[in-house]
Amino acid sequence: MSSDVSASVLDQPAIRVANLGKQYQLGARATHRTIREALVARVRGVGRSFGRRSHRRAPERFWALDDVSFDVAHGDVVGIIGRNGSGKSTLLKILSRIVEPTTGSIDLVGRVGSLLEVGTGFHPDLTGRENVFLSGAILGMRRTEIASKFDEIVEFAEVERFIDTQVKHYSSGMYMRLAFSVAAHLEPDVLVVDEVLAVGDAAFQKKCLGKMGTVARHGRTVLFVSHNMGAVVSLCSRALLLDAGRLVLDSDPMTVAARYQATLTAPAQTTDLATAEHIGSGKARFIELHVVPERRDGSAREMMCPGGRVRIETRIEAYGTIESANVGITIYDATGYRLVDANTAMQGQFVSMAAGEEARIAFTLDDVRLKPGTYLVGLWMGRTNVEDIDGILYAATLEVEPDPQQLRHSEQFPGAYLCAFEHSIAISSPQTTAEVTPSSLARPRDAAVAAPR
């Protein structure tokens, strides 16, 4: 704990969050990635005012975080729990000053350090030693501070022998151990941690949790987001449960964890579409939407990882006669760019309904190799190029979480799609030709971690 936090500021809470809200705008504004699109939308806007129906509509908004208030005392270790899309990450990003809130405020006392990712700022072409300094500086450490802790960092990561090797030759286990070790030696007054502990092998995870425990016992204030109820209960003195952007429970970790487990058994992410913005003739309406991440055997799971499976089920009510309609879903990225389409017509099927009838239509998307991030699910029903019966541009969100085994690969690079791939590197010199793979420098234990599942 910093000695420069004087007694007077210790009287106020370490963190005071008041009426915090974050609104995201979807659709029109967010999708203008080129000036041409921005201009086209302007022109369309004029067209719309003359009564033409336009596919691109006014920006749609949703609150990722809605009127959240809480205080955290100095030395508290607070767990933040919630399902995907509940606003946990948004809260951490605002606390870390990465994004700005839309409403409300946060008052913080002391230096804030945030760990939202393992290996922020690591550069593959630099050596382990160079990356320790670079990553440390990016996380807010001073050069002298890094230098004085350097040996400790390297020892904790167990990479002494390879510290002057470029990290692109590290196994993923070594890479993550070094990256975590830099972060673990950050000594802020307030530490904001996303679920970055689930890295490396079991032994290293245990070591990381131990380190977190030490941090907590040293009187530092910690905010800790996790799906790991065990870790929350053992490390935290208090926990917050978020749901749909709202703070629903603020209590001791056991109580909150129990409530969270109870919510998981309920159908995941059901969205009532009564208040959504619909387009189309209205002869039928989408009433409800479930987005359920699934295991291979079809049972529901709590989170979706790249390459996972998701069931998107919708309920439709007909108010008139529907003949041979195509029903489909679309997945957009957070900026509204269209990524995935699935509809009944693609598989030669059409839906016919009489007034008063109800239909349930489910799409099971398998091997969804979207990168971790927030995606939007849109619904459409109609006859292509003939009529729109009902459509909701953004009906629900789909959160794809980083695969704990592949944190390094999934988070480092932008883009939407994660392809299965293999690679080989052949380095040849006049005398010999050697096959080098990234894990060839690793010890056997590391190779096991790096191996594809």
Minimum gap (Å) between residue 41 Cβ and other proteins: 13
Nearer to other proteins, 23 or 270 (CB): 23
Nearest in space to 102 (alpha carbons), one of 110, 93, 111: 93
The correct pick among 63, 70, 133, 150 for binding other proteins (CB under 8 A) is 133
In the stretch 81-100, what mask flags binding to other proteins with x, by CB under 8 A?
Answer: ------------xxxxxxxx
Residues facing residue 22 across a β-bridge: 65
Residues 213, 359: Cα–Cα separation, whole Å: 52
Q: 342: part of which helix (H) or strand (E)?
A: strand 338-343
- Considering only 5-13, 217-225, 230-238, 266-274, which stretch makes contact with other proteins by CB under 8 A? 5-13
In the stretch 346-385, what mask flags binding to other proteins with x, by CB under 8 A?
Answer: ----------------------------------------
Nearer to other proteins, 109 or 232 (CB): 109
- With 0-12 / 13-18 / 19 or more C-beta atoms within 10 angstroms meaning exposed / middle / buried, residue 67 is middle
Would you say 250 and 72 are in contact if contact means Cβ atoms under 8 Å apart? no
Nearer to other proteins, 6 or 321 (CB): 6
- Considering only 35-43, 241-249, 356-364, 387-395, which stretch makes contact with other proteins by CB under 8 A? 35-43
Minimum gap (Å) between residue 123 Cβ and other proteins: 6
Would you say 398 and 375 are in contact if contact means Cβ atoms under 8 Å apart? yes
- Residues 6+ away with beta carbon under 8 Å from 143: 133, 137
How many whole angstroms from its chain centre is CA 440?
A: 31
Minimum gap (Å) between residue 376 Cβ and other proteins: 14
Minimum gap (Å) between residue 14 Cβ and other proteins: 10
Nearer to other proteins, 104 or 404 (CB): 104
Structure tokens at 220: 């530092």
Residues 26, 36: Cα–Cα separation, whole Å: 18
Judged by CB under 8 A, does residue 108 bind other proteins? yes
Structure tokens at 24: 């995201």
| Distances from the Cα of 223 to the Cα of 69, 179, 191, angstroms | 15, 20, 6
Judged by CB under 8 A, does residue 24 bind other proteins? yes
Would you say 390 and 280 are in contact if contact means Cβ atoms under 8 Å apart? yes
Residue the block writes with tokens 């927030």: 374
- Residues 6+ away with beta carbon under 8 Å from 38: 32
The correct pick among 26, 72, 76, 120 for binding other proteins (CB under 8 A) is 120
Minimum gap (Å) between residue 112 Cβ and other proteins: 6
Judged by CB under 8 A, does residue 416 bind other proteins? no
Residues 318, 424: Cα–Cα separation, whole Å: 55
Judged by CB under 8 A, does residue 71 bind other proteins? no
Minimum gap (Å) between residue 397 Cβ and other proteins: 15
Nearer to other proteins, 99 or 279 (CB): 99
Residues 379, 339: Cα–Cα separation, whole Å: 14
Residue ranges in 172-231 that form contacts with other proteins under rule CB under 8 A: 187
Judged by CB under 8 A, does residue 3 bind other proteins? yes
Nearer to other proteins, 181 or 314 (CB): 181
Residue ranges in 418-447 that form contacts with other proteins under rule CB under 8 A: none
Nearer to other proteins, 321 or 335 (CB): 335
Residues facing residue 166 across a β-bridge: 127
- The site that binds other proteins (CB under 8 A) totals a number of residues, namely 60
Residue the block writes with tokens 């003739």: 281
- Considering only 77-85, 109-117, 254-262, 426-434, which stretch makes contact with other proteins by CB under 8 A? 109-117
State the CB neighbour count (10 A cutoff) for residue 8. Answer: 7
Positions touching other proteins (CB under 8 A) are 2-6, 9, 24, 30, 32-36, 38, 93-112, 114, 116-117, 120-121, 123, 125-126, 130, 133-134, 137-145, 187, 335, 411-414
